[in-house]
Amino acid sequence: MDFAMSARAADHHERLSGFMVEDVLPAEVSYHAQREEVQERSGLSSLEDVPQTESNSAGRKAHSRRLCAARQARR
């Protein structure tokens, strides 16, 4: 089997790799620094520490009930 990339795939791979090296990877340091600053100002260590509201909880429960009903209807 030939697992070599096609010319089109190789072109996409080269362009994507260049974008990652030139734009994305250098920006990661800044991104993490900004994220840490926001977490320090908010006093929260992560999104998991954000309290759920009753409406969010009720919405998830209703969504779960609809999924269960849909699964049972398919049987």
pLDDT digits (tens, 9 = 90+) for 14-73: 999 999 999 999 999 999 999 888 888 877 666 555 566 665 666 677 777 777 787 888
Q: Does residue 31 fall inside a structural domain? A: yes
Higher-confidence residue of 61 and 3: namely: 3
Name the residue range of residue 37's domain. Answer: 8-47
Q: Does residue 57 fall inside a structural domain? A: no
Number of domains in the chain: 1
Q: Does residue 22 fall inside a structural domain? A: yes
CA distance 69 to 72: 5
The pLDDT of residue 45 is 63
User: Which of 27, 24, 44, 26 lies closest to 36 in space, CA to CA?
Assistant: 44
DSSP reduced 3-state for 75:
coil
The pLDDT of residue 7 is 96
Q: Does residue 75 fall inside a structural domain? A: no
pTM greater than 0.85: no
Q: Does residue 56 fall inside a structural domain? A: no
The pLDDT of residue 61 is 75
Q: Does residue 69 fall inside a structural domain? A: no
